Amino acid sequence: MQIYLDHAATTYTDKRVLEVMRPLFEETYGNASSLHGFGRAAEKAVMKAREQTAAAIGAKTEEIYFTSGGTESDNWAIKGIAELAGKGHIITTSVEHHAVLDTCDYLKSRGFDVTFLPVDETGRVSANSVEEAIQPDTILISIMFANNETGVLMPIAEIGKIAREHDILFHTDAVQAVGHVPVDVNETDIDLLSMSAHKFYGPKGVGALYVRQGVTIGRFMHGGAQERSVRAGTLNTPGIVGLGAAAQLAVDTMTENARHERMLANRLTESLLALPETRLNGAGAERLPGHVNVTFSGIEAEALLTFLDLEGIAVSTGSACSSGSLKPSYVLRAMGLSIEDARGSLRMSIGRENNVEQIDIAIQKIKAAVERLQALSPLFAQRRGGKKHV
Ligand code: PLP
């Protein structure tokens, strides 16, 4: 039996989404910029997707620009604003996805000033710290809607209000949030928002950047006049249509999916926390419904992941492989976890097709693997008073 608990990494493409994409490959394959009937048919399909994508976040159709995914949207939002400003200060957090962190590092190397705000032990940045970090030359605040490792939701509405009061542009990386929790760009004063279809049962390699009407953003891609001359390149019409359909489907079924995922996530969490020396990361903060990030002290989560993979269970760790060694998750480290505890942490992200039977099997397999690994672990043996079971 294969059990997929890595939906935060990517989801499968929903069959209903595939069905609406198929004609764009086979029949309506014209270039959406062409003036003939084939082109007009493709453009009509793109327009519908633009309406669906805009509706999913409470935006207007003319505020949606299609991109190749979350990474491009993040890069474009931040560099597009920074390059137009020419210089200035950017506020972000230390737990952003690399698409934001590395873009900010790049801008720093080009002379911009960047503040990477810390988070508390639950993984949240405080809105107060955002306000305190504002300088006279602050040009942009970029703070994620929900963290990809822990699922922790940031105080987006409060931050949006602060940004608006100080007349500073506010970008949010909502790649993990859109389609999973309600997102409304007007209620939360968001000026720019990144989303990606493959995180909500749409295809990979397509996303969107929302840019509030009246906000001017620099060009990211140079070339043709597509996307009102700011994002050149022939439109990925099947992908865009898939994004629109997936966004609508996700919003239409959000309440029931969230209820189902939360029920399964609670079941998984309760059972895993019954094991010795475990903790839930992000406990006490509002979180996405399907994310469960647990630390199993004294073990290497990579070993646990490998054990589970052999059993057909797909999970993930926040560790990054750099020059042959594993760097523990910077997100968990920023929340105050020790290197050992960060290394012993596993992310399980539940999706709408998971069921109770799968979760119960996963619990049983994880428990067995954790008990074996903890018994073998010298660290764990030390904590248990030097008793080591083999
Ligand atoms: N931002 C966040 C929070 C993510 O989780 C991801 C993907 O994991 C990205 C950005 C990058 O999105 P994409 O894979 O569409 O480039």
Same domain, 88 and 179: yes
Q: What is the pLDDT of residue 379?
A: 66
Domain boundary among 219, 252, 285: 252
Same domain, 342 and 230: no
In a domain, 6, yes or no: no
Same domain, 240 and 278: no
CA 4/CA 64 separation, integer angstroms: 32
Q: What is the pLDDT of residue 22?
A: 98
Q: What is the pLDDT of residue 388?
A: 39
Confirm if 267 and 359 have CB atoms less than 8 A apart. yes
In a domain, 390, yes or no: no
Place 14 in a pLDDT band, splitting at 50, 70 and 90: very high
Of the listed ranges 241-245, 321-325, 345-349, the least confidently predicted one is: 321-325
* CA-atom Rg of the chain in angstroms: 22
Report the domain count for the chain: 2
> Mean pLDDT across the stretch 113-131?
98
CA of 39 to the centre of ligand 1 (A): 31
pLDDT tens, 196-211? 999 999 999 999 999 9
Q: What is the pLDDT of residue 323?
A: 56
Look up residue 376 and give its two tokens.
Answer: 């073998």
Q: What is the pLDDT of residue 377?
A: 75
Distances (CA, A) of 192 to 113, 195, 327, 390: 20, 10, 31, 54
Q: What is the pLDDT of residue 250?
A: 98
Q: What is the pLDDT of residue 324?
A: 57
Same domain, 337 and 292: yes
CA 304/CA 114 separation, integer angstroms: 37
Place 382 in a pLDDT band, splitting at 50, 70 and 90: low
Contact residues for 5 (Cβ-Cβ < 8 A; gap 6+): 313, 314, 315, 348, 349, 350, 354, 362
Which of the residues are catalytic? 321
- Mean pLDDT of the chain, nearest integer: 95
Same domain, 248 and 260: no
Same domain, 305 and 335: yes
In a domain, 162, yes or no: yes
Core vs surface per residue 272-281: b (16+ CB within 10 A) or e: beebebbbbb
Domain boundary among 252, 267, 282: 252
Find the CATH number of the domain harbouring 353.
3.90.1150.10
CA of 96 to the centre of ligand 1 (A): 10
Of the listed ranges 78-92, 339-353, 370-384, the least confidently predicted one is: 370-384
Please say if the pLDDT value at position 384 is more than 70: no
Same domain, 239 and 310: no
pLDDT tens, 211-242? 999 999 999 889 999 999 999 999 999 999 99
Please say if the pLDDT value at position 91 is more than 50: yes
Same domain, 272 and 245: no
Which amino acid residue places its CA nearest to atom 9 of ligand 1? 70
Q: Which of 196, 287, 291, 330 best tests ligand 1's pocket when mutated (most atoms within 8 Å of CB)? A: 196
Domain boundary among 222, 252, 282: 252
Of the listed ranges 60-64, 192-196, 216-220, the least confidently predicted one is: 216-220
In a domain, 243, yes or no: yes
Domain residues for the domain of 305 are 255-383
> Mean pLDDT across the stretch 127-156?
98
Confirm if 318 and 147 have CB atoms less than 8 A apart. no
CA of 97 to the centre of ligand 1 (A): 7
Q: What is the pTM of this model?
A: 0.96
In a domain, 10, yes or no: no
Same domain, 21 and 158: yes
Q: What is the pLDDT of residue 389?
A: 37
Helices of type H across the chain: 15-26, 37-56, 70-85, 98-109, 127-133, 156-165, 226-229, 237-252, 254-273, 301-310, 330-334, 339-343, 356-376, 378-383
Per-position DSSP letters for 182-223, written without gaps between them? ---TTTTT-SEEEEEGGGTTS-SS-EEEEE-TT-----SB-S
Same domain, 359 and 375: yes
Same domain, 338 and 246: no
CA 177/CA 290 separation, integer angstroms: 11
CA of 196 to the centre of ligand 1 (A): 7
Q: What is the pLDDT of residue 335?
A: 98
Please say if the pLDDT value at position 55 is more than 70: yes
Q: Which atom of ligand 1 is nearest to the CA of 198?
A: 15
> Mean pLDDT across the stretch 135-159?
98
In a domain, 3, yes or no: no
377 Cβ closer than 6 Å to some ligand 1 atom: no
Please say if the pLDDT value at position 288 is more than 60: yes
Q: What is the pLDDT of residue 322?
A: 57
In a domain, 2, yes or no: no
CA 379/CA 384 separation, integer angstroms: 9
Amino acid at 246: A
In a domain, 19, yes or no: yes
Q: Which atom of ligand 1 is nearest to the CA of 72?
A: 16
CA atoms within 13 A on the CB side of 43: 12
Could you give the percent of the chain with pLDDT greater than 70? 95
CA 40/CA 138 separation, integer angstroms: 43
Find the CATH number of the domain harbouring 102.
3.40.640.10
Which amino acid residue places its CA nearest to atom 14 of ligand 1? 70
Handedness of CA 301, 338, 281, 322 (dihedral sign): negative
CA 103/CA 83 separation, integer angstroms: 12
178 Cβ closer than 6 Å to some ligand 1 atom: no
CA 103/CA 36 separation, integer angstroms: 40
Please say if the pLDDT value at position 18 is more than 80: yes
Confirm if 171 and 141 have CB atoms less than 8 A apart. yes
Same domain, 86 and 201: yes
> Mean pLDDT across the stretch 130-145?
98
